Structures are given as structure tokens and as C-alpha cells.
Structure 1
Amino acid sequence: MARILIVDDSPTEMFKLTGMLEKHGHVVLKAENGADGVALARQEKPDAVLMDIVMPGLNGFQATRQLSKDPETNHIP
């Protein structure tokens, strides 16, 4: 199945999303902030990214903008 990156600073949301996705056979990659999410997306090239918006430091909008401008990651939904 798909490799999905979850970027979220909430342990509760991370737990819920991970459980749902793994139940359906997906491989879940996790990052707790925008900067780590961008780095992990560049390194692992997931099939999709689920990005929280409100996070300390690099927020979801900024992280998504970086991913969309990078030729290595701009194809990832």
C-alpha cells in the first residue's frame, strides 16, 4: 500500500491517524513539526503527506510551500 507521511505536533491526532492508516495497510512515516516533515519528505519520498497547519516553528503552510517548490517533492499530494 501507500507510504504516507503525517506531520502533526499533536500526539493524539498522530495516534488516531496512524491507527486508521495502518489498519488499512499503509506504511506511516511521522514528523512532529514542519521542518522535520520537509526533511523526511525529501529523504523518504512518501506517496502522500497529511500536514497539520498550526504548528510551532515552520507551520503547515510554510512547509507545504517548501515541498511544492522543490522538484524532488512537488509531485507529492
Structure 2
Amino acid sequence: NLLLVRGETGTANPIGQPASREKTHVITQETDLLDAPGGKVLRRLTQPRYAVNKVSVENGFALIARDGATIGYVEEGKLAELE
């Protein structure tokens, strides 16, 4: 069971939610992993070609997942679709 955390706007936090384990995209360059679109930095992703699952897009930011759970948002332009 996952606990949903309510943000300042009253919306449920999608980070930590179940997601497909399928890798659909890679991060093409260093980028910040954010808690929300344009939000606070959770950590810096420094490994190019970091494979992730792109779950959704909101205002130019992609919600991404690894190992079956969502981990945060990155700028959509820093993702490339896996071939």
C-alpha cells in the first residue's frame, strides 16, 4: 500500500506510484530530477543514457519511472525515445 502525499495545491503526489518497468526513453544529458513540473530539485541525474519509462507529460516536464515506480519529473526535451 502506498501513501499519497498531498502537495500545497491539494493534489496527490505521483512520485512513488506503481508504473511499468518497461524502459521507453533515455535521459540524453545531465538534468535535475524534480518533485513536480518546474518544482524543487530532488537530485541531479549525471549519467547520460539513463534508461527510464516516460509515464506522462505536463507543461513540458515528463514524469519518469524506474524499477516499477515513478521517481520524479525531468524536462521533456532531455529525453530521447529508445529505438
Q: TM-score, normalised by structure 2?
A: 0.29
Q: Which has the higher strand share?
A: 2
Q: Which has the higher helix share?
A: 1
Q: Computing the radius of gyration over CA atoms, which structure comes out larger, 1 or 2?
A: 2
Q: TM-score, normalised by structure 1?
A: 0.30
